[in-house]
């Protein structure tokens, strides 16, 4: 197995609200390996974005949030180090690409400047060196005429170009881990295809781990090697792409895959639907969190929370109905 670059162990993220603490993430553990593309999927409110932002400690810890668990990166627990050290890791060792490039880039600086900033802070390059490198980065992410684009502002670029700039900013210091949070959700399919190709290409060339956070299963199927499925702040299933798409074990994973219309699917058939909606965090059901929407739920599911158990070489699932033998058969 490849070298682990990030270990998330028992992560809990709780938000302080007027009505007390809300557990948005409840005991999430996973590893990210060097050079891999890991997909984290789930619907809105499942905690996939909160997980990624917790890794970088982006929430206001004084007022908003309470973390527990450990996030180990390069031998250190990220929750133990001072904020100053955390800021050195952000952008240099772990970078992030957000969904909305227009609001994530600074509107009053040229795009070139924003890459230069990162290089000057983390790599201590001279202005001239940093500018040279920034132009190279723009070229690397496939922006035509990079010298001219260097002096343009974010609003002058199209959505796809802006996302490329964000990727250039994120990759400028050759991070070990890139977290891409819904990087193509706001883009059209043709542009989405270009951006995903770029991310896959960068992943191979720079040998960095990529955590792709998305609600789009098809994007994950096309690009990732490993997949984590989340529901209501917990991991419900984890496995290789083949595990998840060929033999999904959790009823929620199965439901999600079947709910997406296929390009070669039978059009006369009704789409599979998961009834009900994702409950609010303040109304988390006891027992298995998916039980109220699960067609196979039994009395036990409603009372007892299932553990995440290993059912194959690479597959883990959190469901009472799946035994180890079943996992092997399926």
Partner 1 sequence: MTAEKERVPVLKGEGIRKYYQTGGSIGRGKHFVKAVDGVDISICEGEIYGLVGETGCGKSTLGRTLMGLTEATDGKIRILGKDIGGMKKSEITGLRRNIQMVFQDPYTSLDPRQKIGDILMEALEIHKIGTKEERMEAALKIMGTVGLRPEHFYRYPHEFSGGQRQRIGLARALILSPKIIICDEPVSALDVSIQAQIINLLQELREKQNISFLFIAHDMSVVRHISDRIGVMYLGHMMEEAPTDELFARTVHPYSKALLSAVPNPNPHQKKERIVLKGDLPSPLNPPPGCVFHTRCPYATEECSIRRPDMKEIAPGHKVACLKV
Q: Enumerate binding residues for partner 1 (CB under 8 A).
A: 43-44, 144, 158-161, 188-194, 196-197, 215-219, 221-222, 241-242, 245, 255-257, 259-263, 265, 267, 270-275, 277-278
Q: What angle do CA 35, 42, 262 make, to 5 degrees?
A: 90
As measured in angstroms, the least distance from the Cβ of 232 to partner 1 is: 13
Nearer to partner 1, 74 or 188 (CB): 188
Nearer to partner 1, 188 or 324 (CB): 188
Nearer to partner 1, 55 or 140 (CB): 140
Tokens of 304: 């007892």
As measured in angstroms, the least distance from the Cβ of 223 to partner 1 is: 8
Nearer to partner 1, 108 or 190 (CB): 190
As measured in angstroms, the least distance from the Cβ of 94 to partner 1 is: 26
Question: Are 169 and 142 in contact, with CB atoms under 8 Å apart?
Answer: no
As measured in angstroms, the least distance from the Cβ of 329 to partner 1 is: 20
As measured in angstroms, the least distance from the Cβ of 328 to partner 1 is: 20
Nearer to partner 1, 208 or 274 (CB): 274
Residues with Cβ within 8 Å of 232's Cβ and at least 6 positions away in sequence, in order, are 26, 45, 46, 47, 278, 279, 281, 284, 289, 290
- Give the integer Cα–Cα distance in Å for 134 and 126: 12
Nearer to partner 1, 79 or 245 (CB): 245
Q: Which of 75, 57, 77, 81 is nearest to 67 (CA)?
A: 57
Tokens of 133: 């490198």
As measured in angstroms, the least distance from the Cβ of 243 to partner 1 is: 10
As measured in angstroms, the least distance from the Cβ of 36 to partner 1 is: 15
Q: Which of 52, 57, 45, 59 is nearest to 15 (CA)?
A: 59
As measured in angstroms, the least distance from the Cβ of 155 to partner 1 is: 14
Nearer to partner 1, 189 or 313 (CB): 189
As measured in angstroms, the least distance from the Cβ of 257 to partner 1 is: 7
Helix 111-123 and helix 159-171, axial crossing angle in degrees, nearest 10: 10
Nearer to partner 1, 248 or 327 (CB): 248
Tokens of 146: 């990079």
Nearer to partner 1, 21 or 218 (CB): 218
């Amino acid at each position: 197995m490849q070298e682990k670059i990030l270990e998330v162990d028992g992560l809990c993220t709780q938000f302080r609200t007027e009505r007390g603490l809300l557990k948005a993430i409840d005991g999430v553990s996973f590893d990210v390996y060097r050079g891999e593309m890991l997909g984290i999927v789930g619907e809105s409110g499942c905690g996939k974005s909160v997980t990624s932002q917790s890794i970088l400690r982006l929430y206001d810890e004084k007022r908003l949030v309470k973390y527990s668990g450990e996030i180990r990166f390069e031998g250190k627990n990220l929750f133990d180090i001072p904020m100053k050290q955390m800021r050195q890791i952000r952008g240099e060792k772990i970078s992030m690409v957000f969904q909305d490039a227009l609001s994530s880039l600074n509107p009053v600086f040229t795009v070139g400047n924003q890459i230069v900033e990162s290089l000057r802070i983390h790599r201590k390059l001279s202005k001239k060196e940093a500018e040279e490198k920034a132009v190279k980065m723009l070229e690397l992410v496939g922006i035509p005429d990079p010298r001219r684009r260097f002096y343009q502002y974010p609003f002058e670029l199209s959505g796809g170009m802006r996302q490329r700039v964000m990727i250039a900013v994120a990759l400028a210091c050759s991070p070990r881990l890139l977290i891409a949070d819904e990087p193509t959700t706001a883009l059209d399919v043709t542009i989405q295809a270009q951006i995903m190709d770029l991310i896959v290409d960068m992943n191979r060339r720079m040998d960095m781990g990529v955590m792709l956070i998305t609600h789009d299963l098809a994007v994950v199927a096309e690009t990732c090697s490993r997949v984590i499925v989340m529901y209501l702040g917990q991991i419900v299933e984890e496995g290789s792409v083949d595990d998840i798409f060929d033999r999904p074990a959790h009823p929620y994973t199965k439901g999600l895959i079947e709910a997406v219309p296929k390009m070669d699917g039978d059009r006369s058939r009704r789409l599979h639907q998961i009834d009900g909606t994702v409950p609010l965090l303040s109304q988390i059901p006891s027992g298995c969190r998916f039980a109220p929407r699960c067609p196979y739920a039994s009395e036990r599911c409603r009372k007892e929370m299932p553990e995440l158990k290993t059912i194959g070489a690479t597959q883990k699932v959190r469901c009472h109905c799946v035994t180890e033998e079943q996992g092997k058969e399926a």
